[in-house]
Amino acid sequence: MALFLDLAKLTEGADAIDNGQILNLGVMPTVPYEALDGYLVIDLSDRLAGSFCAKTLGLYGSEVVKIEPLEGDPLRKLDHTEDETDESDSPLFLHLNVGKKSLTLNLDTAEGKEILGILLQKADILVETFIPGKLASVGFSYEGIAKHNPGLIMTSITPFGQTGPYKEFKYTELTVFAMSGAMHREGLPERYPLRYGAEVAQYYAGNSAAAATTSAIFRRLKTNVGDWIDISIQECMAGHPHQIGRRAPFIYSGELDPRTQPRVSAAGAREPYAVGTFRCRDGHVSFLPLGPRMWPNIARMIGREDLMYDSRFNDPDKRSFNRKALEDIFQSWLDKRTREEIFIEVQKAGVPGSPILRSDEVMENEQFESRGFFTEVDHPTSGTLKYTGDPFRLTAVPYKKLMPAPTVGQQTNQVLKDHLQLSSEDIASLKEKGIV
Amino acid sequence: MSKEKVSSIPGFPLEGVRAIELSEIWAGPFCGTLLADMGAELLKVESVQRIARGPVNPPKRSGAYPNGDPGERPWNRQSNFNAMNRNKKGITLDLKTDAGVETFLDLTSTADIIFCNYARSVMEDFGLGYEELKKTKPDIIFMLMPGYGNTGPYRDYRSMGMAIDAISGHSFLRGYPDLDHSTNSLVHHPDAAAAVNAVFALTTALIYRGRTGKGQFIDMSQAESFMTHMGEIFLEYQIRSKPRERQGNRDFHYAPQGVYPCKGDDNWIAISVVTEAHWKSFIRCIPLPNLRDGKFSSVKSRIANHDELDLTIEKWTSDRDRYEVMDTLQSSGIPSGVVLNCGPDTYGDPHLNEREFFQIVDHPDAGIFPMTGPVLKFQSNSGVVLHNPSPCLGQHNDYVLGDILGYTQEKMDDLASDNVIGTVPLPGSDLGGSRRASMEPVHRESMSQQTNIDPNTNDSKED
């Protein structure tokens, strides 16, 4: 969508001079920076949250070595339920493993464990997602590793954390989201509760884990001492602003927060008329005008200043009472306009609102395009695709090219040579024995 | 004159770090909360000219306040604010005055981090852009996190979590697949995603400063930070040339998956049968003969007959206790979870309680309540959970201006009499937005005057 309100002030290129601020901003490739250069991350995670945590550490310059079983991470074949012969990697795998190196390792063998042990002595960060106790049972307890490598930061990400009665529970995005408190209020009162639209709980926890990990690295700069971080996906989501904001009224006053009609509940029912998601000419638009001070903005936006003096609508209680009539007027304004036109109007009027975009429309959106957020990466089997870039830009840090997700064991030789100083013959013998 | 003292907690990862927060509602404040949970000294800057702690004159009874009572100082008792700002110190400063800006720059010289989730131009308009701050503190780490980033055609657009949810492609994926998007709820999850990414950004910049001595400006786009949580969906579109559609509670790859009713009012269980092994265990747990029907024997056929499968499963779950169903399925290794509500279910959850998810907090104006505590847990400070109450308005003015900056009592009195600092909202400071329904219909005396606000005055809030 072409939505320029302020063409003249559009920044051009890097080193934009912007209101007297000289910032290294503008259109630049969104590729990894070298802020965490030199840190070695061992990624022993399965599934989404741990893998995303390791990936983000890599985006900012860490060397991430992903340890895979000889047959590869099962996430590679996520989409192969119907076609077993398909050799391509799943979109989820490609996204989660951008920039990583792949080392295949058979951890059921003594030599495999020995190689892992040596890597962990050299590592700065270990990201792992085993069922609590599992890693210790195969000889890699935190205490054991820390004895040889006291600076190691071990980031453990599990659905329910390292302790407590649910610690061994099996999970999916759906079941852990259900147990976070986020689901019960989502959806319509007369129907079943709903989850969100993507795998957001796992991503959110993985991102929280990355933030905790960098905090621990910061402390290590001064103390030289590592740490063991216990991240529970359930707790991350249960301790999320949506949930703590809604739990507080319950504990303060006993107020419950059941599923209600989205249009009524969204703004605390204070100005419940232009609130929620509405149909327009070419799709849908979401609105959330907060409080009565938004009312004149909306009346002006829809060209109906007369409504401000209309006896049905001239105070907040009347607007609540006559919500349906007001919504009908609002809807008829929306019906004549496209999402693009409405987005321009809401920005002019100062009303919080935004078009609902499909994934293909997001990729064509000129805001993200102007910032070069989607970045082309070449992958040996999946070809050239546009990937999401980095979640924030460090303007003082140099950047380098984004590397594609590795093929199975792609950097096995390199990692064994670089970090274990093994010779080509050693590696060949390990391969023969089915260890790497 | 500065004493350069940082009163953070020893042993916590961000001990010794002082951060200044200029933020409202969720994205910025929750970033500050996480920093404070990890031991940073977090100074939250508000003003008595602009109150983002719920309405200044709320209804006489409202569930958003302790025991439904807003009390004498509602701004110190509001649930959302008090839940969202633990472990911080609160000061007020009118940054539209020279004295306010001067004080802020004095504070900048003692700080490591400054972050702001207002619209991009707000700090610049105060005369507190990065160039100014850098003159005062060359290695300052300064982050602006407007909705769409600091460059590009949308850089001055106002936004909120739900707007980013829509434009990022997430809203499109939410909702009941058989209904129109107009039944969608508004979700502000992108605020939370931005908050954790902001902590990741600031701590990464702290590491970089620790290794090189250099501070920097961080350009964060809340939208982009959230879109990294949906990367596979954009790749999937390119690979399949078809954008992903909604799937409700189901999954494209396996079946059954859904949320099923249990005994009691509005009680539900979430179940995922991911693998063939799960399915075999599942039909052992649920001894209904029609589950063994040929039309459910493969993943493909279960996906094709999902509606019918759901009806059968529902029949079994609907007269059973939700915890009992979870225990039965989990003990057979099948992913399942009770759909906990945010209130009594979460407070009663044995697992969260064993992990000390809640702490009893004594708030000077709101009283004693169990509140949600920090979730990032470090072995190096196990046993110590940092959970101080959210600050009252201007509660730490004396500490910050007196103890940190070494201002004299006389200077502080002058600032107070000019309303540069204060502890009580000034007339006209009410943003008027309430995020909670009131407990009963009420008269809103103050409303008519609030609607007189100049309609051209935009809210500069970004969250």
Residue ranges and CATH numbers for the domains of chain A are 40-239+373-432 (3.40.50.10540), 262-350 (3.30.1540.10)
Asked if the model's pLDDT at residue B3 lies above 70, the reply is no
Q: Provide the CATH topology of domain B18-228+358-450.
A: Rossmann fold (3.40.50)
Question: In this predicted structure, what is the pLDDT of residue A5?
Answer: 30
Q: Sheet harboring A63-68: ordered strands across?
A: A101-104, A63-68, A40-44, A125-128, A153-158, A227-232, B377-378
By Cβ distance, the residue of B171, B207, B435 closest to A217 is: B207
Peptide bond before residue B425 is cis, with ω within 30 degrees of 0: no
Which of A215, A321, A361 to probe by mutation at the B interface, max B CB count within 10 Å?
A: A215
Three-class SS state of B369: strand
Is A231 in contact with B451 (Cβ distance < 8 A)? no
Chain A residue nearest residue B357, CA to CA: A235
Question: In this predicted structure, what is the pLDDT of residue B456?
Answer: 33
Average pLDDT value for residue range B443-453 = 30
Question: In this predicted structure, what is the pLDDT of residue B444?
Answer: 30
Asked if the model's pLDDT at residue A20 lies above 80, the reply is no
Tell me which of A25-39, A226-240, A293-307, B327-341 is least confident: A25-39
Q: How is B253-299 classified by DSSP, letter by letter?
A: SSS-EEEEE-SSTT-EEEEE--SHHHHHHHHHHS--GGGGSGGGSSH
Question: In this predicted structure, what is the pLDDT of residue A321?
Answer: 85
Question: In this predicted structure, what is the pLDDT of residue A12?
Answer: 35
Contacts of A389 (CB under 8 A, 6+ apart): A29, A30, A31, A372, A373, A374, A375, A402, B224, B228
Q: How far is CA A14 from CA A26, A366, A405, B463, in A?
A: 5, 17, 28, 27
Asked if the model's pLDDT at residue B2 lies above 60, the reply is no
**Count of C-beta atoms within a 10 Å radius of residue A276:** 24
pLDDT, tens digit (0-9, with 9 covering 90-100), for A408-432: 999 999 999 999 999 999 999 999 9
In the A/B pair of chains, how many CB contacts fall below 8 A? 611
Asked if the model's pLDDT at residue B45 lies above 90, the reply is yes
pLDDT, tens digit (0-9, with 9 covering 90-100), for A110-130: 999 999 999 999 999 999 999
How would residue B10 be classed by pLDDT, with cut points 50, 70 and 90? low
Any A CB within 8 A of B113 CB: no
Enumerate the residues of chain A whose CB falls inside 8 A of the CB of residue B87.
none
Question: In this predicted structure, what is the pLDDT of residue B168?
Answer: 98
Q: What own/partner pairs with CB < 8 Å and gap ≥ 24 does B380-384 have?
A: B380/A219, B380/A225, B380/A227, B380/A228, B380/B11, B380/B13, B381/B9, B381/B11, B381/B12, B381/B39, B384/B9, B384/B11, B384/B12
Chain B residue nearest residue A340, CA to CA: B167
How far is the C-alpha of B273 from the C-alpha of B335, rounded, in Å? 7
Enumerate the residues of chain B whose CB falls inside 8 A of the CB of residue A253.
62-68, 79, 439
How would residue B158 be classed by pLDDT, with cut points 50, 70 and 90? confident
Q: How far is CA B132 from CA B108, B126, B235, B436, in A?
A: 10, 10, 41, 39
Domain range list for chain B: 18-228+358-450, 257-346
Q: Is pLDDT larger for residue B438 or for residue B131?
A: B131
Chain A residue nearest residue B208, CA to CA: A35
Question: In this predicted structure, what is the pLDDT of residue A8?
Answer: 31
Asked if the model's pLDDT at residue A83 lies above 70, the reply is no
Average pLDDT value for residue range B18-29 = 94
**Nearest alpha carbon to residue B186 among A66, A33, A56, A242:** A242
Asked if the model's pLDDT at residue A70 lies above 90, the reply is yes
By Cβ distance, the residue of A203, A253, A386 closest to B67 is: A253
Q: What is the share, in percent, of chain A residues with pLDDT greater than 70? A: 89
Question: In this predicted structure, what is the pLDDT of residue A164?
Answer: 97
pLDDT, tens digit (0-9, with 9 covering 90-100), for B261-303: 999 999 999 999 999 999 999 999 998 888 998 999 999 999 9
How far is the C-alpha of B355 from the C-alpha of B274, rounded, in Å? 28
By Cβ distance, the residue of B235, B334, B447 closest to A95 is: B235
Asked if the model's pLDDT at residue B455 lies above 80, the reply is no
pLDDT, tens digit (0-9, with 9 covering 90-100), for B178-233: 999 999 999 999 999 999 999 999 999 999 999 999 999 999 999 999 999 999 99
Q: Do residues B398 and B391 make contact, with C-beta atoms less than 8 angstroms apart?
A: no
Question: In this predicted structure, what is the pLDDT of residue A318?
Answer: 87
Q: Is pLDDT larger for residue A242 or for residue B447?
A: A242
Chain B residue nearest residue A91, CA to CA: B232
Three-class SS state of B339: coil
Average pLDDT value for residue range A89-114 = 96
Asked if CATH classification 1.10.10.10 holds for the domain at B257-346, the reply, yes or no, is no
The single-letter DSSP state of residue B401 is I
Is B354 in contact with A36 (Cβ distance < 8 A)? no
